[in-house]
Amino acid sequence: MLNIVLFGPPGAGKGTQSEKIIEKYSLMHLSTGDILRNAIEKQTSLGIEAKKYMDKGELVPDEVVIGIIGRRLDEYRDKTQGFIFDGFPRTNNQAEELDKMLDEKDLSITQLIALEVDYNELVNRLLKRGQISGRTDDQDIEVIKNRINVYNENTRNVMDYYKAQNKYSGIDGMGTIDQIFERICKAINVHLK
Ligand code: B4P
């Protein structure tokens, strides 16, 4: 199974590139951001709880997102050739719990692909999406800055967890969507030979 973590700060292109990766490699897309937004739209208890954090650009508590991923892994384990984890893990605790959940199913992460993008480009991309999509967390510059700060303080060092396992690939996330996708494919294809 090919199990990829797509990693990077808010606006790095995780959601955008995930769409292309799942199509090319027939993987199951697990985006914690999408799942949480869907819960908010449906006004479930999970959504009501998650909204309090997402509106401020804070991380939703670990136990909430770990539970979400655990249930999806159980559901899709036998129905896919692999998973793309988009926006998860975002803390070292999430990374450790993910390894435990995968291990119980005789699975493991193949590779972490980290998209590297300049600060100003991140802010511009998110503000632009905010104008089009109506996503409230993309419309307020202070919330955007907080999300990037939260990434730098709580999430960036998750890379070290995967570096220690020799599973880290850094990818230049500046350029056109197709240029970046080509770089990602080169990194993934190493595992298919
Ligand atoms: P996410 O849904 O993961 O959203 P994101 O990081 O803001 O965006 P993403 O990185 O996917 O967007 P993309 O670059 O593709 O998280 C939202 C919130 O959910 C978090 O703040 C947190 O509160 C919560 N959450 C989610 N997962 C969690 C977890 N595991 N633990 C705790 N909390 C969690 O796209 C950005 C824009 O850039 C798009 O408009 C796109 O079109 C554009 N773009 C992409 N590539 C481009 C390129 N090459 N050139 C120009 N524009 C580009």
Q: Cα separations (Å) of 127 from 119, 121, 133, 171? A: 13, 10, 10, 23
Which of 59, 97, 144, 153 best tests ligand 1's pocket when mutated (most atoms within 8 Å of CB)? 59
- Which residue minimizes the CA distance to atom 6 of ligand 1? 10
Predicted TM-score (pTM) above 0.75 = yes
Q: Are 84 and 74 in contact (CB under 8 A)?
A: no
Question: Residue 144's pLDDT band (boundaries 50, 70, 90)?
Answer: very high
Report pLDDT digits (tens) over 15-48.
999 999 999 999 999 999 999 999 999 999 999 9
Ramachandran category for residue 74: left, alpha or beta (phi over 0 → left; psi -120 to 50 → alpha): alpha
Which position among 20, 56, 129, 167 bears the catalytic label?
129
Checking if the pLDDT of 193 tops 90, the result is no
> Does residue 52 have an active-site annotation?
no
Tell me, what amino acid is at 1? M
**Sheet with 28-31, edge to edge strand ranges:** 28-31, 83-86, 4-7, 111-116, 168-172
Checking if the pLDDT of 134 tops 90, the result is no
Task: Give the residues surrounding ligand 1 with Cβ less than 6 Å away.
Answer: 10-16, 32-33, 36, 53-54, 57-60, 65, 87-88, 90, 94, 125-126, 129, 147, 176-177, 180
d(CA 51, CA 112): 28
Which position among 20, 37, 56, 135 bears the catalytic label?
135
pLDDT for residue 135 = 87
> Does residue 37 have an active-site annotation?
no
> Does residue 147 have an active-site annotation?
yes
